[in-house]
Structure 1
Amino acid sequence: MPTAAVIGCGDVSSVHFGAIAKMGDVGLVAVCDSDASRLQAAQAAYGVAGYADHLEMLEAVRPDVVHICTPHHLHASLAADCLERGVNVIVEKPLAHTLEEGRRLVEASTRSTAKIAVCFQNRYNATSQAMRRLLDDGGLGQVLGASATVMWHRTAGYYRDRPWRGTWSEGGGGLMMNQAIHTVDLLQWLVGDVTKVQGHASTRSLAGVIEVEDTAEFIAGHANGATSVFYATLANAVNAPVTLDIVTEKATLSLRGDLTVNYADGTVETVPERTLESGGREYWGVSHELLIKDFYASLGDSMPFWISPAEAQKSLRIVKGIYAQSYPEMYGRIV
């Protein structure tokens, strides 16, 4: 039976703990957090050893898989420490808080015999998988373009509860790094590699609360010649469904929770999304469990996991490219 440990016992760890428990054939053996109260709460809840230092935990417990659910600025260093010791890793998005740290983790993953997955779990959504299949089989013709929106709501209290979220030094950015990066990832994964991006990020509604952006837009050129447009904000009144429209020669694929495919001949097809069964917040999506289960199932083969650091680096480069254009005076500090 493979063993697991979780580093970072804050909000998103709940879906990782839930997925581990639901698999049944994985044993949770340790938790780790630098915050004493969170560590004690996790120890009490799961009945396992607790550690304030991740290196001490790795030495003492030697888990087969470590789940990293920490603030962004710790992702790359913690994951690299695990990989260097031959320990498999599932790390939450984003890959890292800077491009340099992202490159470091990509390099560490190529040197290690251990596996690593980055949690872009929305690729496992029923709708995302259906879009990928439809685009891959060639029946829709060439992709002409795409558009996407993330119209969500965050309050000052959300940032005061976890101050790292609103900073460049620990969050690595705001809206684009913490909320919209999932949709950026889907856009480039479905439409094609992004070869150029022009955009702008700014703080429109939370100035004085955060130092990072709460609103952003961009136009991206893809390797296949398609152009996509993107808009995201945290100033909306509610967390509206993410939208993603892909226009091809023979159909338009429209994601609004469920997927609607409008074919040029008038045929309409609908692909429903699964409902949320695991714990956690609705906007985390429905597919963490699928990604985690798939990762554990892959431990017996020698192939890298398909959502690798090199794959996750693509969305990080897009986001950091927008920051470079929007905050040139801070380029060296935030990119």
Structure 2
Amino acid sequence: MRVAVVGAGGWGEHHARIFSRREDTELVAVCGRTPARTRARAERYGATPYTDLDEMLRVERPELVTVCLPNEDHYDVTLKLVRTGVPLLVEKPLVFDLTEADTLLDEAGDRFFAINFNHRYAEPVQRAKALIDAGELGDLIFATWRFGGEANHGRSPHANLIETQCHGFDMLEHLVGPISAVSAHLTDKTYGAFSTLALAVDFENRAVGTMLGTYDSSYAYPDTQRIEINGTKGRLVIHDTVRALTFSKAGDPVEQRWHSTYFDDEARNFAGTFDRHVDALLTALRAGDQPPVHARAGRRALALAHATIESHETGRRVSIT
């Protein structure tokens, strides 16, 4: 399968790495805005560099295009690619504006349009989902999400909420179920943007939850990312996405713990969660199926973020429609 990567930035290197090293894909192009950086990236992974998207599409005719651009610059390029009909994998966030998100999805129709919520493919997350689906936690009662480190400054005052905590919205709904309402507290104490936020959430299944997301912390801290889910029969905790999963049964002081084994480097590699997502994505694409994580999930996370903003601005609990 001929694959082109649009974007020559930091996380975009993982796009190039994955598709250049697989036996079932050929990385044919890297398309970027900066000629020197694009050329260097393409040379590193044996692809052809382009700074003109139309030329790249015309010459290379890729069968899959992946997009990894600066967070607030997704819309125009993604819309152009959607209109070509080429299968797409885009990085989160989908966009910052709900109208733009709706336009992208309407234009895409039923064509293959995926988003990279790679946290779903971490080994602890997959094991947690299996425990929940098997009823090992009983009825879910409450869940917590905490994630944050150093600032990633952007033009939007809600960069932390939209571009980073979208993982939290996606993960809570993936594990617990649809969120039905949010009540938000945001602070711009440090540098003017709303860099830290705390949410209370209701789920449709009548469980409740909390989210704490910040750009005022450090990724060096242990458990900088932590998910806890409690049910009537047990509790699980996911530590740092890929580091460990602990599970306890109600009333039992003995805790079960999963961690990657000595030779299992892949399972503790955060970037490897993207490799796993690509495995599932290519399987679906070749089978003619919809992607395992459709771009609609990006629109959903954005809708929850906008409800959070509304709650903060109005001081009211906001129901999700």
TM-score calculated relative to the size of structure 1:
0.84
Alignment counterpart, residue 185 of structure 1, candidates 154, 170, 183: 170
The question of 1:268 aligning with 2:255 is answered: yes
Structure 1 unmatched ranges of 5 or more: 160-164, 329-335
What is the one-letter code of the residue matched to 1:270?
R
Moved more, 293-302 or 247-256: 293-302
Q: What is the rounded CA distance, in whole Å, between the counterparts of 2:44 and 2:22 in structure 1?
A: 18
- Describe how 1:5-154 pairs up with structure 2 within 5 A: 5-112=4-111, 115-154=112-151
What is the DSSP-based 3-state SS (H/G/I as helix, E as strand, rest coil) of the residue aligned with 2:191? Answer: coil
Q: What is the rounded CA distance, in whole Å, between the counterparts of 2:260 and 2:88 in structure 1?
A: 28
Q: What is the rounded CA distance, in whole Å, between the counterparts of 2:158 and 2:265 in structure 1?
A: 28
1:34-83 residue CA offsets vs partner (Å, 9 max, x unmatched): 22232222233234322222222212211011110002333343333323
Change in 2 beyond 3 A, CA 1:277/1:9: farther
Contact 2:13–2:41 under 8 Å retained in 1: no
The question of 1:213 aligning with 2:194 is answered: yes
Q: What is the rounded CA distance, in whole Å, between the counterparts of 2:109 and 2:128 in structure 1?
A: 30
1:117 Cα deviation (Å)? 1.6
The question of 1:227 aligning with 2:208 is answered: yes
Q: What is the rounded CA distance, in whole Å, between the counterparts of 1:137 and 1:47 in structure 2?
A: 45
What is the DSSP-based 3-state SS (H/G/I as helix, E as strand, rest coil) of the residue aligned with 1:24? Answer: coil
Contact 1:126–1:271 under 8 Å retained in 2: no
- Superposed CA RMSD: 2.2
Change in 2 beyond 3 A, CA 1:34/1:132: same
Match for residue 229 of structure 2?
246
Q: What is the rounded CA distance, in whole Å, between the counterparts of 1:313 and 1:276 in structure 2?
A: 33
Contact 2:89–2:113 under 8 Å retained in 1: yes
Q: What is the rounded CA distance, in whole Å, between the counterparts of 1:66 and 1:97 in structure 2?
A: 21
Alignment counterpart, residue 166 of structure 1, candidates 132, 154, 162: 154
Query: Aligned residues, how many?
Result: 305
Change in 2 beyond 3 A, CA 1:273/1:326: farther
Change in 2 beyond 3 A, CA 1:89/1:140: same
What is the one-letter code of the residue matched to 2:214?
T
Instruction: Give 1 or 2: higher helix fraction.
Output: 1
1:247-267 residue CA offsets vs partner (Å, 9 max, x unmatched): 100001111231111101414
1:309 Cα deviation (Å)? 1.5
Change in 2 beyond 3 A, CA 1:84/1:122: same
The question of 1:202 aligning with 2:187 is answered: yes
Q: What is the rounded CA distance, in whole Å, between the counterparts of 1:273 and 1:223 in structure 2?
A: 34
Contact 1:153–1:239 under 8 Å retained in 2: no
The question of 1:259 aligning with 2:237 is answered: no
1:308 Cα deviation (Å)? 0.3
Q: What is the rounded CA distance, in whole Å, between the counterparts of 2:274 and 2:20 in structure 1?
A: 13
Contact 1:106–1:310 under 8 Å retained in 2: yes
Change in 2 beyond 3 A, CA 1:110/1:271: farther
1:12 Cα deviation (Å)? 0.5
Structure 2 unmatched ranges of 5 or more: 315-321
